[in-house]
Amino acid sequence: MAKQMDMIHGPLLPKILMVALPLAVTSILQQLFNSADVAVVGRFVGSSALAAVGSNGPIINIIINLFVGLSVGGNVVVATLLGQRKTSELKDAVHTVLTVALISGVVLVFFGIFFTRLILIWISTPEDVLPLATVYLRIFFLGMPFSMFYNFGSAVLRSKGDTKRPLVALVISGFVNVALNLFLVVVVKLGVADVAIATVVAQGISAGIVMVVLLREDGPLKFSFKNLCVRKKYLLWMMRIGIPSGVQGMVFSFSNICIQSSINTFGSSAMAGSAAALNYEYFTFFVTTAFSQTAVTFMSQNYGAHDFARCRRVALLCVLCSFAVTFAEAMTFSFFRHFFMSVYTDDPIALDFAERRTMCVEFFEYMPGIYEIPAGCMRALGVSVIPTVIIIVGSCLLRLCWIWGVVPTHHTWETLLYIYPITWVITIVLMGIAFAVFVRRRLR
């Protein structure tokens, strides 16, 4: 059994890295395994299938982000109770979090089955891509109960500093995903349905491993089916922190869907190129989210223990570590962009779109950590609405104004994509002001 990390005593930097780096590797591997879907269909099926699979990312995100936000709230609840040493309350809190996970997964299955085609039509998916995209998305959503349990269960384990066992679960399920992708696409040859089926099977394996880990856990974090419950106190606490975070993710994904709609107007080659480049943006951004989630966990425990000076050090160290790693990633992917993009497609037109997107977006991908981590720290302290509003305004509403007001009159690839670094700078300024004001009050 993994021992609970002592986050409220001792040196911070080694412990932050011990939590954040496995979490970053977990997310990157998850994206790599998801990218196997993109790479396999791009190489063995064609550009239309690549566009069908790759362009679904924003749609998937907008639908599940509310529930992923709730898992952040669950992390704060469990980590804060651990910091306060309220072990008598942890059992009900943990089982409330996991019950919400299972209910969320079932809701997403029905939503995905009945509404995916309408959403794909709404975002102007080309006719040659629409049938394939619909098949992929409907099968993908059948795995949502597995995905939700993995995410919420990992949040429970992360609250005590355990990021290694969720990583092991993902590695095992990921290799199964890649193997099934190659077998089903190359041998069985069903196309995009194959990669969707492989993804659902892999999600089931990762969820099953995390469930076994929690079933075998010692102490108050131990999971039991007979103890599944929803306690109003912990549900409201989780919702108070998680819903603003989830709404932010939904609005953020909505703006990305609108951007995807603009990308679709450039044709299937642009869609394929954008899907290829987006994978590397995910690789970089997942490091940011790893340090942001680590900051949430450490801040929650230390705030629960009333060590406010240590809370400030947590915020600073997480921002600095995130910036260092993401800057190195962004520069590597940007300067060797042709090599990295050619992994996903050998279509020269799609490659051109991919490389141009890399220089407009990935080159600046170290910026989001400068506002995401302070936002996570504020949520850990119970201030969840303010960072949500700032990110919605700075990184969502301004992008919508840009694609509806500027892009139609200056319809170029670069004009569309430069909105990312522009809005990141604005959001950094706004979040810095809010962090200085509200965190000072909370930690006074």
Q: Is 318 buried (19+), middle (13-18) or exposed (0-12) by CB count in 10 A?
A: buried
Predicted confidence (pLDDT) at residue 422 exceeds the cutoff of 90: yes
* 324 vs 339: CA distance, rounded Å: 23
Structural contact between residues 238 and 321, judged by C-beta atoms closer than 8 angstroms: no
Buried b (16+ CB within 10 A) or exposed e, 212-247: ebbeebeebbbbeeeeeeeeeebbebbbbbbbbbbb
Computed over every residue of the chain, the mean pLDDT equals: 84
Q: What is the pLDDT of residue 195?
A: 76
H or E element: which one contains 315? Answer: helix 308-335
**The two structure tokens encoding residue 244:** 């603003």
Q: Which amino acid is at 67?
A: F
The share of the chain scoring above pLDDT 90, in percent, equals 23
Structural contact between residues 116 and 59, judged by C-beta atoms closer than 8 angstroms: yes
* 289 vs 145: CA distance, rounded Å: 22
**Residue 1 banded pLDDT, cuts 50, 70, 90:** very low
- Terminal C-alpha separation, the chain: 38
* 27 vs 37: CA distance, rounded Å: 16
116 or 2: which leads in pLDDT: 116
Buried b (16+ CB within 10 A) or exposed e, 180-207: bbbebbeeeeebbbbbbbbbbbbbbbbb
Of 41-55, 112-126, 370-384, the one with minimum mean pLDDT is: 41-55
Tokens 């879907």 -> residue? 37
Structural contact between residues 196 and 147, judged by C-beta atoms closer than 8 angstroms: no
In tens, the pLDDT along 163-191 reads: 888 888 888 988 888 888 777 766 766 66
Q: DSSP 3-state assignment of 265?
A: coil
Distances (CA, A) of 91 to 87, 160, 173, 174: 8, 14, 28, 30
**Residue 102 banded pLDDT, cuts 50, 70, 90:** very high
In tens, the pLDDT along 22-71 reads: 888 877 777 676 666 666 666 656 666 666 666 666 667 666 777 777 88
In tens, the pLDDT along 237-281 reads: 888 888 887 887 777 777 877 888 888 888 888 888 888 888 889
34 or 118: which leads in pLDDT: 118
Of 5-9, 57-61, 426-430, the one with minimum mean pLDDT is: 57-61
Q: What is the torsional sign of CA 392, 408, 115, 58?
A: negative
Mean pLDDT, residues 222-245 taken together: 87
Q: What is the pLDDT of residue 35?
A: 66
Tokens 């794909």 -> residue? 120
Q: Where are the alpha helices (DSSP H) in 343-418?
A: 348-360, 368-380, 385-392, 398-405, 413-417
Mean pLDDT, residues 371-398 taken together: 87
Best-predicted range by mean pLDDT (10-14, 157-161, 214-218, 357-361): 357-361
Predicted confidence (pLDDT) at residue 304 exceeds the cutoff of 90: no
Question: H/E/C letters for each residue in 57-111?
Answer: HHHHHHHHHHHHHHHHHHHHHHHHHHHCCCHHHHHHHHHHHHHHHHHHHHHHHHH
Tokens 């566009």 -> residue? 51
